[in-house]
Structure 1
Amino acid sequence: MSRQQSIILMFAASFCWATGFIAMSVILESVNAVTLLFFRYLIVIAVLIPIILKTEGFDFPSRKNILYITGMAVFNVLLMNLLMFEAYRTTTGINIAVISAMNPLTIAFWSAALLKVRFRWIQVIGALLAFFGVLVMVFKGNLYALRTLQFHPGDLWMMVAVFSFGLSAVCSRYATRTISPLNALFYSAIIGLVLLLPIGFQSFEWPDWDINLLSLVLLVGVVSTALAQWFFNVGIKHIGAAESGFIINFNPVFATLISFVFLHEMPVWGQLIGWLTIMAGTALFYNMPKSTLK
């Protein structure tokens, strides 16, 4: 897979993640975090089985690789999701959006610390510029509102979730060196569910299903989890964790577009400026030799 194809696939992953943001906030009004997490990854497993059977077949990980796949399960399937869902319950949407904007920076941090990735100064400027653009989008151009942010207990949970996701990206980088991204996602989902059962057994509650709730849970499971994480793992395998993680900056861009198309929410000038700033930061970040990132 070429570099350009990998980047396009990462944009697709960002779009898939964005579709799930609104859906998850609605689901968590009637379903608790453990229940949503269980059905989310149960759907992932069910979706991936026929795809793997038809495309590449099951490739059981080696003894060494199982450690990295378990890391994907622990840091992504379990910790990141449970902490994020707890943050949804105990802090504001604005605070979550601001902290989530740190995702590409934390992935870059872990990539530098654990994968020995080295960044040029132009990339650092691009990353910070894109981060600033995300903040502009979140606050719709009114950055003065940053001064009015209040600390909530859920902010700490969200910060740990962001760093946990960064570690899972590094684990994925190691895991996909000897196993396909599809198989890595499949086995990490299984391990994550197995680990979830003793932890969340008492918290599990059977939902009062209706067509709307079922549709939203399927959307989260199929699109914003199975497809998004598969695309993300493919990107990590071919262009590295840091470069793949940078595309997360486009999550609020796609969320704004989705809100405009389906909810008829017209973006304001501040969001458009933020969008352009993210584009400029991305152009700087990707203007580098191919060998710069791992």
Structure 2
Amino acid sequence: MSAHAPRLTPSTIALLLIPPLMWAGNAIVGRLMQGSVPPITFNFLRWVVALVLLLPLAGAVLRPGSGLWSHWRRFALLGLLSVALYNALQYMALKTSTPINVTLVAASMPVWMLLLGRVFYGVPIARRAALGAALSITGVAVVLARGDWRQLMSVQLVPGDAWMLLAAITWAAYSWQLARPPAGSEPTHIRTDWAAFLLAQVVMGLVWSGAMTAGEWALLPAPPEGQHHLQWGWPLALALLYVAVGPSLLAYRAWGAGVARVGPTTAGFFSNLTPLFAAVMSATLLGELPKLYHAAGFVLIVGGILVSSRR
């Protein structure tokens, strides 16, 4: 990728809007499921459902000689960063941290995109990219502060914020792995088929996630008499269906295609729309109309995207 970001087209913008929209819903569902299922277990079940949905689309990738097993190290790395770690860390963060803290920490993702690109891939940080990062993060802060900066001054860090910081760094590393795969590390026929490419990551990621889930259950304290750590029912089933289809299949498909078009740095700025969408969704669920600060935050976030992507 050159120092100048590729120009955004309407189709690319549409692609890169899908992931933050799905991720905003994922954060809301993740918060709703706290107390109904342990966070790492929720992530594991999510990808089990996604695996079942992907099998009819790309089940052939599991056959011997498909290229998956001869390149298992590559897909094990991608599955660790995306399937096993990122969302498990986010669900863990939502267990102990407040929404404003989690989304503020997640807004640092474009900064990690820039830093990882500079340190590991030698991609220079253009002044436009730095300015775009500052504008977008300011826009996120405006929305999260609800137009009152004193709310930001009262933020107190908790362990969940550290989990979300690690999640943001993990996703930045995953995005650079997508954009700069080592030569010969991926079979072309798998990389060019989004369903096969995602299924290859899910299969390997579930190995990591399964081990993490086993560790989680080994460390869980005994529940009170008559209660259970896992509460099966329609709420959990509907939540799993949503996070398996939306944030998993649709978002990963759109993110991979968007990163391939414009690179992880420009794509990273779109992730800052996630808290804006989450604020709008929350306002809709609560019956509140959008406020002026929503518009101001949107202008700043989109402005950061446009500034960073201009030639």
Q: TM-score, normalised by structure 1?
A: 0.87
**Cα shift readout 1:227-275 (whole Å, capped 9, x = no counterpart):** 1112111222232121222210111222233334454332222222111
Distance 1:10 1:87, change over 3 A: same
Q: Which residue of 2 aligns with 1:235?
A: 258
Q: Distance in 1 between matches of 2:280 and 2:211?
A: 40
User: Is 2:18 the partner of 1:18?
Assistant: no
* Higher helix residue share: 1
Residues 242/177 of structure 1: CA separation in 2 closer, same or farther (3 Å cut): farther
Aligned-pair CA distance for 1:127: 1.7
Alignment CA distance shift 1:196-1:91 (3 Å): same
1:211 aligns to 2:246 (yes or no): no
Match of 1:74 among 74, 80, 84: 80
Q: Which moved more, 1:278-287 or 1:265-274?
A: 265-274
Q: Residues of 2 paired with 1:189 and 1:118: CA distance?
A: 32
Partner-residue secondary structure (3-state), 1:240: helix
- The answer to whether the Cα contact below 8 Å between 1:133 and 1:278 also exists between their aligned partners in 2 is yes
Cα distance change of structure 1 residues 183 and 116 upon mapping to structure 2, 3 Å threshold: farther
Could you say which residue in structure 2 is the equivalent of 1:272?
295
Paired residue for 2:155?
Answer: 149
CA distance in 1: counterparts of 2:274 and 2:80, whole angstroms: 23
Measured in 2, the distance between the counterparts of 1:140 and 1:80 equals: 27
- Deviations, residues 55-108 of structure 1 (Å, cap 9, x unaligned): xx6353474x54332222112222222322222122222111110111122122
Alpha-carbon distance in 2 for matches of 1:146, 1:267: 20
1:1-294 equivalences in 2 (<5 Å): 4=9, 5-52=11-58, 58=61, 60-61=67-68, 63=70, 65-175=71-181, 178=188, 179-180=191-192, 181-201=194-214, 203-204=216-217, 207-288=230-311
Give the RMSD, CA atoms, in angstroms: 2.4
Shift of 1:210: 2.2
Match of 1:291 in 2: none
Query: Can you give the 5+ residue segments of structure 2 that lack an aligned partner in the other structure?
Result: 1-6, 218-227
- Residue 25 of structure 1 and its aligned partner are, at CA, apart by 0.7
Q: Note the residue ranges of structure 1 that are not aligned, 5 or more in a row.
A: 289-294
Amino-acid identity (%): 23
Amino acid at match of 1:73: G
> How far off is 1:191 after superposition?
0.8
TM-score (normalised: structure 2): 0.82
Deviation (angstroms), 1:217: 1.5
Task: Flag the structure with larger Rg.
Answer: 2
Tell me the matched-pair count. 283
